[in-house]
Structure 1
């Protein structure tokens, strides 16, 4: 079955393809189906935003669609940056990740090591061609480091030290990350539901 991924983010697309490939799903990009769109994510939760994106692509294509909304929640910051993770510092384009990480470090400069717990959250919405919807969530827990480490990954990966690994997400290989990431955990939940 063909599934259209509601993302312009190549990293997310690769991760979704990698995790769903053994189930016989052919994951198409927006480019593959000739859609150039930026969908406004005006939900107040990751779940709402994932559904907004998946519903819009389903409406436009009539095909099965999959959308992820994900981000970082830092507990001492009352869940910030949360649904604003991608636009936390308000900087668009290539400098976005650096600006977001800088703002996060600035907001946490006085927070001691034992109070820097956080989690990555991923909500995945899957809509079948007939309109039936499934939403799953996945998490990975860790702490926010005091400086960026690692060359892999994107977003907050260089600051996020994974519980039990003593490495940042950006210090993991793509293969290692795809086994433990919040998106991988949400996709594993989705796989279970699709198999039922």
Structure 2
């Protein structure tokens, strides 16, 4: 990904700070948009592409803390770096607990700030990659028939073909046919690849469902 594909949104009511931050961020090659208030930024939404917020705590109208709270409530997973001249330990601790990348005090060292913003952008890149993976995985899962999904769940649980056949009350030959279609539709060649593609969460859900459907002793 090119640096020009990355955007930092600067939200600070001090025009001199905004101008200084814009010059610094552009010197790294990133795109930058600045706003004098959180409310102005909210009017600009939605945002597209990989980004990070450089956010002041004390702002007119909606404060930086209130904006972070709103983002948490709405599940907007935008990385936030706080930069403030009026920080305190409780505010810093609360913002970090809510997922802030860093909490910095003005005046700030340029390298320290760029490092924090870089971590924020890297976090957003990773989040978008996870989302793309989930969407791709869901498309694969949606292509499976109910029987194929049952067979796949059995495979993810480590069940042998004959065990899956017994669970589903079908022939082992039919299980092999379904299993082959599962591997083809999921785009994998081995059980190890299938487990890696589905991830620990889906494997755990398949195992839990298998336990719930098992007859009680």
TM-score, structure 2 as length reference: 0.29
Larger RCO of the pair (alpha carbons < 8 Å, separation 6+): 1
TM-score, structure 1 as length reference: 0.31
Task: Specify which structure has the higher proportion of strand.
Answer: 1
